[in-house]
């Protein structure tokens, strides 16, 4: 790669489970709400202006439903990968998020729910994927439609930080976060 790889990380639009306050993780079938579809359309317009050369999405429904207007606005085909999925929360998925504040150890990057994935595992998965992408980029500017925790992990990886230093703030639904990976 001759120069930096620019990533445009799109967080999926609001899903039905976001609206209901349920832990989603890697639950595959959760669709967008009407607001989520509007957020996806706004992100699509922002992407079109940024002119990415490739569009890659998580294979979870809420990300795919966000990627579809992005594909229409950019004229790009959607490539999917499970590497861009949200952090898996195992047995906690589908439960009200407010009930989990005292269950999840948010301070320990190695903690994982039964059948789930720790922040450290998420960070490693995202790091591996971004290394592969940087080694053989499909374009100089790549749009990635993904999830909040996955974006936070990508931000840490791009900054050379470990899972314990992931940003605390999750980007809003339908937002576009710009990152550069240096070769």
DSSP class of residue 15 equals B
Beta bridge partners of 143: 8, 55
Residue among 68, 86, 93, 117 flagged as catalytic: 86
Task: Quote the distance between the C-alpha of residue 156 and its chain's center.
Answer: 13
Radius of gyration, CA atoms only, the chain: 16
Q: Crossing angle of helices 148-158/119-135, nearest 10°?
A: 60
How far apart CA 42 and CA 19 sit, in angstroms, is 18
Residue 86 known to be catalytic: yes
Known catalytic residues are 12, 86
């Amino acid at each position: 790669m001759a120069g930096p790889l620019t990533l445009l990380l799109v967080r999926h639009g609001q899903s039905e489970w976001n609206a209901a306050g349920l832990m989603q993780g890697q639950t595959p079938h959760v669709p967008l709400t009407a607001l989520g579809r509007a957020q996806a359309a706004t992100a699509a317009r922002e992407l079109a202006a940024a002119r990415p050369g490739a569009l890659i999405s998580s294979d979870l429904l809420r990300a795919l439903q966000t990627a579809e207007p992005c594909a229409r606005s950019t004229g790009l085909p959607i490539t999917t990968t499970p590497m861009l999925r949200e952090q898996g929360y195992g047995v906690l998925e589908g439960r009200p998020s407010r009930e989990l504040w005292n269950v999840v150890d948010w301070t320990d990057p190695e903690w994982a729910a039964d059948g789930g994935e720790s922040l450290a595992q998420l960070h490693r998965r995202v790091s591996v994927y971004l290394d592969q992408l940087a080694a053989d980029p499909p374009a100089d500017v790549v749009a990635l439609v993904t999830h909040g925790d996955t974006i936070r992990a990508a931000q840490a990886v791009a900054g050379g930080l470990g899972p314990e230093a992931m940003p605390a703030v999750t980007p809003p639904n339908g937002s576009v976060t710009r990152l550069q990976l240096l070769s």
